[in-house]
């Protein structure tokens, strides 16, 4: 079964929840920082989580704890572009250990990976939404409890269709 995502909802079977997408909507992603959620079909690579904010739960995915030294490289000049990194790091990267809760849980999608094209875009996640469902920089965001429910339902081979 697939997860379907449009400008307003994430749908998995009969499970339908409100979501936020990129500020410029869903379209063909052109470059890093364009605020577009990329059109296409993706796989979930793994799950990142804050163990100080999320109780232990069962998942079929590979998991990695988010620590204060964890980040995601969004600098296309780096050979680590669009990859998980550890600080200290000499290139530009986004911190994953944040004061707000949007990165308490992150499903990492395989957008622009294997091969990775420089400046095409990085870090397309399904993560926790801000309280008022503010548009994202290109990710998909859900309420935290909805994301936890989704993670418990989906399988390793579940595909994400963004349209």
User: DSSP secondary structure string, 72-100?
Assistant: EE--TTSTTTTSEEESS-SS-EEESS-SS
With a cut of 70, list the residues of the chain below it in pLDDT: none
pLDDT attached to residue 2: 97
pLDDT attached to residue 4: 98
CATH of domain 3-162: 2.40.440.10
Instruction: Please state the domain extents for the chain.
Output: 3-162
Query: Which residues are CB-contacts of 100 (< 8 A; sequence separation ≥ 6)?
Result: 130
pLDDT attached to residue 51: 96
pLDDT attached to residue 74: 97
């Amino acid at each position: 079964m697939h997860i379907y995502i449009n400008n307003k909802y994430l749908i998995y079977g009969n499970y339908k929840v409100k979501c936020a997408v990129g500020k410029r909507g869903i379209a063909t992603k052109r470059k890093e920082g364009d605020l577009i959620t990329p059109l296409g079909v993706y796989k979930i690579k793994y799950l990142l989580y804050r163990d100080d904010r999320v109780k232990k739960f069962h998942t079929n995915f590979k998991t990695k704890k988010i620590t204060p030294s964890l980040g995601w490289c969004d600098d296309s000049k780096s050979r680590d572009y669009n990859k998980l990194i550890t600080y200290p790091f000499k290139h530009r990267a986004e911190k994953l250990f944040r004061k707000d809760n949007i990165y308490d849980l992150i499903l990492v999608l395989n957008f622009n990976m294997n091969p990775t094209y420089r400046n095409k875009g990085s870090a397309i996640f399904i993560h926790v939404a801000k309280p008022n469902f503010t548009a994202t920089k290109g990710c998909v965001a859900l309420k935290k409890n909805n994301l936890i429910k989704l993670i418990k339902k989906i399988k390793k081979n579940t595909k994400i269709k963004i349209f």
